[in-house]
Each structure stands twice: as structure tokens, then as C-alpha cells.
Amino acid sequence: MPTRLERFIGRMDQATSLDGLQTLVEGLRDLYEVEHLIYHSVKGEGGQYAARTYNETWVGRYIEEDYARIDPVVLGCYQRFNPVDWKQLDWSGRKVRDFLAEAIETGVGNQGISVPIRGPNGQFAVFTVNHGCHDADWAAFRQTHAANLILIAHFINQKALEIERGSDHVPASALSPREADTLTLLALGLNRAQAAERLSISEHTLRVYLDSARFKLGAANTVQTVALALSRGLILV
């Protein structure tokens, strides 16, 4: 039986417009059985696009009150490159607590993980999975799905950029065999030490291959490097 990630990848080709991307996001929410899933992109020149499953009343309220200026999730993603678990953020201020209470009252779950994405030409995006459940259940969900959701975040961002360009052609330098081997092992879930051992090279040499691949693909970090290589068919897992 196909994994959730494989089923998601199989649906990606059906998203050929921004409306199709919205449908993809809704399907992904149902696939992972969570309450909400959100992709929000801001271009370098300021244009925005969002595919989301939040209640539109809450979305309107969020925009009207300019809650982005106090939202710990937004602020946390701007300051980080790694995924942000909402529980690790500072919700102690009175205004922030009131904001959170209003969000939960309108259907936003108490748990969330947000993936910051830095794309080309100053583009910035955030991919969020949101759900309502106990801490233990959320910890189990994260442990099971976090790695794939990070890859999915970058897949969705790449698809959104392709739709905006009107083409899925992305010029990219070919990866060397060693660069491809490095990314393939990382995509399979090995850490750097394990990948280096499998390739019979030092971790320093592996980092050289990884940095070279990241530069060729124009990626911001290791996760995006792997995601871009997968989405462009440069590696297979």
C-alpha cells in the first residue's frame, strides 16, 4: 500500500493552478487526518498567496486585526530555519494569550508545527499543520510524520512557484554521482554520520558534497536541498 507521502506525490501533478493547489492542500489535510493545513507564500516584492483550511471568519478577523504583528508562529518562523513547534513558542503575553484564545474559539487547534521556507528572489513561505489533541498524541504524530511533512512543505512551495511561472521547467545544474548518492541517503532517513559511513567517506567530505549540491539547487538548507532534488527527479528513493 502506498505511503501517505507517495499518495501525496501522486496527486501533485493534478495541481496545475492555484485552485488546484487549494484542492491539494485540502486533500493533504484529510490524508493526514488533521484539522487544518495552511500554505502561505509572500513574494520578495510583496505579493501573497495562501491555500488554507481555516474558517474564513477567522481569516478575516486575523487580517482585519493585523494579528501577524503579534502572532508567535509568524515571528518564530521569520527568526528560524528549522520547523517550529507551537508549544516551544512564547505565548505568555496578555495580548498573545487573548489572540490564542480567540483562535481556538474559532476552530484553530491547540497544536501546530510550522515549516519556514525561503525561496528564490526573497520569497518566504510558511507551511503549517494544525490540530487539536493532547500533548502526548501530538508528540506521537510529530515523531511519525514530521520528516515527511518537512519534505511536503518544500514540494508544495516548489509546485506553487511552478504554477506562478506557468512552467515546471526549473534550470538546474546536474548533480555529480557522489552528490546524488549523498542526497539519496539523506532522503532515505540516514543522518550525516550514517550516510558518510555508507559511502565510506568522512563527514567532512560528505558536507562538501552536500554544500555543493545545495549551491547548485539554490537551496537554503539540507531539507530543501533533498526536497528539490526529489521534486526535480535528480534522485530517486
| pLDDT of 1 | 65
In a domain, 219, yes or no: yes
Q: Do both 68 and 103 map to the same domain?
A: yes
| pLDDT of 45 | 67
In a domain, 172, yes or no: no
215/172 Cα distance (integer angstroms) = 10
In a domain, 92, yes or no: yes
Q: Do both 92 and 208 map to the same domain?
A: no
Q: Do both 137 and 187 map to the same domain?
A: no
132, 165, 198 - which closes a domain: 165
Q: Do both 134 and 93 map to the same domain?
A: yes
| Each residue's pLDDT expressed in tens, for the chain with a length of 237 residues | 678 888 888 888 888 898 999 999 999 999 999 999 999 998 766 678 999 999 999 999 999 999 999 999 999 998 887 889 999 999 999 999 999 999 999 999 999 999 988 777 778 899 999 999 999 999 999 999 988 898 899 889 888 988 887 654 445 557 888 999 999 999 888 999 999 999 999 999 998 899 888 888 878 788 888 888 887 778 876
What are the C-alpha distances in Å from 128 to residues 149, 191, 203?
9, 24, 32
- pTM > 0.95: no
The domain that holds 63 is classified in CATH as 3.30.450.80
Q: Do both 155 and 209 map to the same domain?
A: no
Q: Do both 16 and 81 map to the same domain?
A: yes
| pLDDT of 21 | 93
Q: Do both 36 and 130 map to the same domain?
A: yes
Q: Do both 124 and 215 map to the same domain?
A: no
In a domain, 236, yes or no: no
Structural domain range at position 225 = 177-231
Q: Do both 44 and 153 map to the same domain?
A: yes
Q: Do both 132 and 204 map to the same domain?
A: no
> Residue 104 in contact with residue 110, Cβ under 8 Å?
yes
In a domain, 120, yes or no: yes
Name the 3-class secondary structure at 220: coil
Q: Do both 154 and 223 map to the same domain?
A: no
Tally the domains of the chain: 2
DSSP 70-112: T-HHHHHHHH-SS-EEGGGS---SHHHHHHHHHHHHTT--SEE
In a domain, 124, yes or no: yes
φ, ψ at 157 (rounded to 5°): -65, -40
The domain that holds 186 is classified in CATH as 1.10.10.10
Short-list 178, 187, 176, 164, CA closest to 236: 187
The grid coordinates of residue 34 equal: 488533521
Q: Do both 89 and 139 map to the same domain?
A: yes
| pLDDT of 169 | 47
Name the 3-class secondary structure at 80: coil
165, 188, 221 - which closes a domain: 165
In a domain, 237, yes or no: no
The grid coordinates of residue 207 equal: 558536507
